[in-house]
Amino acid sequence: MVLKVGVLGSGFAARELHLPVLSKISNVELSAIFGIPYEDALLLAKRFNIPKATDDWRSVINDPSIDIVIIATPTYTHKAIAEEAIKAGKDIMLEKPIALTVKDGEDLVKAYEAGGVKLMIAHCLRFWPEYVKARELIMTGRIGEPRVIRAYRLSSHPGRWFRFQELSGGVAVDMSIHDLDYLRWTFGSVKRVYAIGGLYSSESVTSIDHFMATLEFDNGAVAYVEGSWAMPRNYPFTTYFEVSGTNGLLTIDNQSTATIEAYIDNSYYRYSPMMKDAYYLEWIAFLNWVNKGVKPPIEPNEAVEALRLSLSINKSIMEGRVVNPSEVK
């Protein structure tokens, strides 16, 4: 069965992440694309052989021939567009974060649960081969009990609407939510957050563009997490993950030729880069849910909890104190 997909958004996520993958999946047909300005949508329609380009997102959602929509629009539009897509009976892939506030995220989950559609939030680290392999090593006890964790994600500033906290949520909500979701998925709930940060890039108007946070998990593990949009323009996008346990340590470093390195039982293991595309695996998981009823490894309510943790970092920075994520409503 060929599924017709409507693409909502013409920015980086749609252009560089989703469209290249969707154009190569045989049982998917790209049917329409929305973008502002219209010229951006038209350019992508020509590049990916999409028959319809528009600057009216409702015309895509209300097209009865379309089965699935990918919502890759700015974060501040997620809730309104996703709710309309649910009402229209579309199955939805929604770019992270699920929303800008916990309440909006929870309202969207309620609409999904009542709507009889499928909603998957694109938390891609749950499909990233290196991170999936690392989690397997952790969950099977290869490094013993996890104790100390480090994760950082560093980039130059994306500019545009990301410069405003009220539109993007800042770097913790927009970018570091990848790591925060992965940490919750792998190590469980967080009970205490303390963070410092602020505006360090000249690009920022109101958005918190750099933070350093410590997290304490319910299981006693502790993590240091850093996120930044304050790197120079020529600085390579950098991600790093490290976990030390009672029996070993492993790292993931996107700047290393050995994407995973592990020190276990006084031995050294080196895993070469895993070439499968996480965005392809993400889409295959979603399509298997649509076609075969096989649920993907993320529920919408988990995306709300990742957002809650991200907002806890912002709250800690703004109030200068330790925050329990349960305080963020």
Q: State pLDDT tens for residues 152-204.
A: 999 999 999 999 999 999 999 999 999 999 999 999 999 999 999 999 999 99
Separation CA 231–CA 209 (nearest Å): 10
DSSP string, 21-55: HHTT-TTEEEEEEE-SSHHHHHHHHHHTT-SEEES
Cβ atoms of 176 and 169 within 8 Å: the answer is: no
Interval 101-125: pLDDT, tens:
999 999 999 999 999 999 999 999 9
Check whether domain 126-278+307-327 has CATH 3.30.360.10, yes or no: yes
Q: Return the bridge partners of 238, or none.
A: 154
Residues of the chain with CATH 3.30.360.10: 126-278+307-327
Separation CA 87–CA 55 (nearest Å): 20
What's domain 3-122's superfamily in CATH? NAD(P)-binding Rossmann-like Domain (3.40.50.720)
Number of neighbouring beta carbons within 10 Å of residue 305 = 20
- What token pair was written down for 23? 């154009």
**pLDDT value of position 6:** 99
Residues of the chain with CATH 3.40.50.720: 3-122
Distances (CA, A) of 224 to 185, 190, 201, 212: 16, 12, 22, 7
**pLDDT value of position 275:** 72
**pLDDT value of position 256:** 86
**pLDDT value of position 259:** 84
Of the candidates 159, 86, 122, 138, the one whose C-alpha atom is nearest the C-alpha of residue 245 is 138
Stretches where the chain sits below pLDDT 70 are: 273
**pLDDT value of position 273:** 64
